[in-house]
């Protein structure tokens, strides 16, 4: 049934149009998060292992609250095994064990609960929330050509076929720096950097608004890492994308992210704007992570204290009482061993889960780290250098 207004008839006026929002309400709409995670839990049962007659569980994600705002790049950092990838895959609805709330504000203004979607809303969510995986070799089907790989989301989500599909695939491949003549080739014919460009093209082709980049550059050689980071930033500027950037490399995160969330043992322990977090962390675990960032300039090495954590990451199936970080924290007190700190706003725009955040004088990095551990220059938020033809073919 057509909803078009007949010729000559006045256009219907909605209640919203009759009562335009105030500047305050418009600003609030612009700043409300595109993705809001509340109380997210992901637990896996340990088969055959019981405690007091009950199955033990590994809490990979333990009550995470997180907001991602439109147009920003939010970095998610932490040690291996802290739950970063599980959180990202839960947002992608790839973890049926997830519970809690993942609310996404779609392009049409509706708020969708990612954990309770109808089939129609699931199609919208899959189209607008996409993922770039860590290993481009294992995430691409070796039996499919680039045309089939990049075109599959168009067929499944938008129903495109034939020339319209191929034109959209060619346009997306050119956008990520791949030659359209390579449509009939298979993934094995490309380098690691080119395969990751294919993964990015597959994520972008249906027109998403939010992209979860799970260690998107960690499997690449340092010679092409900067190219891919520049590409991601250029695409964000061009298409207005929002990124959740999962990484363990803080030197990369510092230069590409607007805000950073630090994760430890399945929990978010600190969230802050990137510059403020690196200049003055509020959580002892963040201080330890920052101190581990290599300094490529040999003249500056040894100018800051290296915080060395003692002990091992606790068993997530038997987390310690109180603060989960207290067995490894050099500032821990008796309170830390008995009471788990709740995340709170310690400063405007900064959230921390630490009993003593205000009383600690933690060390950050004074000035930006200009390159990664290999000494290769990294892109910054203010530099957008377009790739050369040679870089596009790499």
104 burial via Cβ count (<10 Å: 0-12, 13-18, 19+):
buried
| 164: pLDDT strictly greater than 70 | yes
In the chain the domains, ranked by start, together with CATH numbers, are: 33-47+56-141+199-394 (3.40.50.300)
- Per-residue pLDDT of 313-351, as tens digits, reads 888 888 899 999 999 999 999 999 999 999 999 999 999
- Per-residue pLDDT at 50: 56
Report the distance separating Cα 164 and Cα 172, nearest Å.
13
- Per-residue pLDDT at 24: 46
Give mean pLDDT, residues 271-298: 90
| 374: pLDDT strictly greater than 60 | no
Q: Which of 87-91, 355-359, 379-383 has the lowest mean pLDDT?
A: 379-383
| 132: pLDDT strictly greater than 70 | yes
Q: Tokens 């930033």 label which residue?
A: 233
The candidate with the shortest Cα–Cα distance to 212, out of 240, 246, 189, is: 246
Structure pTM? 0.83
- Per-residue pLDDT of 213-230, as tens digits, reads 999 888 788 778 889 999
| 291: pLDDT strictly greater than 60 | yes
Give mean pLDDT, residues 12-39: 56
| Model confidence band, residue 8 (pLDDT cutoffs 50, 70, 90) | very low
| Model confidence band, residue 293 (pLDDT cutoffs 50, 70, 90) | confident
CA-to-CA separations, 378 to 143, 246, 375, in angstroms, rounded? 34, 17, 9
Q: What percent of the chain has pLDDT over 90?
A: 62
CA-to-CA separations, 174 to 220, 328, 389, 392, in angstroms, rounded? 21, 49, 11, 9
Report the distance separating Cα 80 and Cα 313, nearest Å.
10
- Per-residue pLDDT of 302-318, as tens digits, reads 677 788 888 888 888 88
- Per-residue pLDDT at 32: 82
Give mean pLDDT, residues 136-164: 93
Helix (H) or strand (E) holding 63: strand 54-68
| Model confidence band, residue 368 (pLDDT cutoffs 50, 70, 90) | very low
| 139: pLDDT strictly greater than 80 | yes
């Amino acid at each position: 049934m057509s909803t078009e207004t007949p010729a000559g008839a006045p256009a219907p006026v909605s209640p919203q149009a009759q009562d335009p929002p105030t500047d305050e309400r418009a600003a609030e709409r612009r700043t409300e998060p595109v993705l809001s995670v509340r109380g997210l839990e992901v637990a896996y049962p340990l088969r055959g292992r019981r405690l007091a007659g009950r199955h033990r569980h590994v809490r990979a994600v333990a009550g995470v609250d997180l907001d991602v705002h439109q147009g920003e790049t939010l970095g998610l950092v932490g040690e291996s095994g802290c739950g970063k990838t599980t959180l990202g895959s839960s947002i992608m609805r790839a973890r049926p064990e997830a519970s809690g709330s993942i609310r996404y504000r779609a392009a049409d203004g509706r708020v969708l609960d990612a954990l309770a979607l109808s089939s129609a809303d699931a199609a919208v969510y899959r189209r607008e929330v996409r993922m770039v995986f860590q290993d481009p070799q294992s995430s691409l089907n070796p039996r499919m050509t680039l045309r089939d790989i990049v075109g599959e989301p168009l067929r499944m989500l938008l129903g495109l076929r034939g020339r319209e599909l191929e034109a959209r695939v060619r346009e997306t491949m050119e956008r990520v720096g791949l030659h359209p003549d390579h449509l009939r080739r298979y993934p094995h014919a490309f380098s690691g950097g080119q395969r990751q460009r294919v993964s990015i093209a597959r994520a972008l082709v249906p027109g998403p608004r939010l992209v979860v980049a799970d260690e998107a550059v960690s499997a690449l050689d340092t010679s092409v890492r900067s190219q891919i980071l520049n590409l991601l930033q250029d695409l964000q500027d061009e298409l207005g994308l929002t990124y959740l950037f999962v990484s363990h490399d803080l030197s990369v995160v510092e230069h590409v992210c607007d805000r950073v969330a630090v994760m430890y043992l399945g929990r978010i322990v600190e969230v802050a704007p990137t510059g403020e977090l690196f200049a003055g962390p509020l959580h002892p675990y963040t201080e330890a992570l920052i101190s581990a960032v290599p300094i490529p300039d040999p003249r500056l090495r040894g100018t800051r204290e290296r915080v060395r954590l003692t002990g091992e990451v606790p068993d997530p199936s038997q987390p310690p009482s109180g603060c989960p970080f207290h067995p490894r924290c050099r500032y821990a007190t008796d309170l830390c061993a008995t009471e788990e700190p709740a995340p709170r706003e310690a400063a405007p725009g900064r959230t921390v889960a630490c009993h003593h955040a205000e009383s600690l004088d933690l060390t950050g990095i004074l000035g930006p780290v200009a390159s990664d551990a290999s000494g290769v220059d990294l892109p910054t938020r203010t530099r957008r250098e377009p790739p050369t033809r040679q870089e596009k073919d790499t």
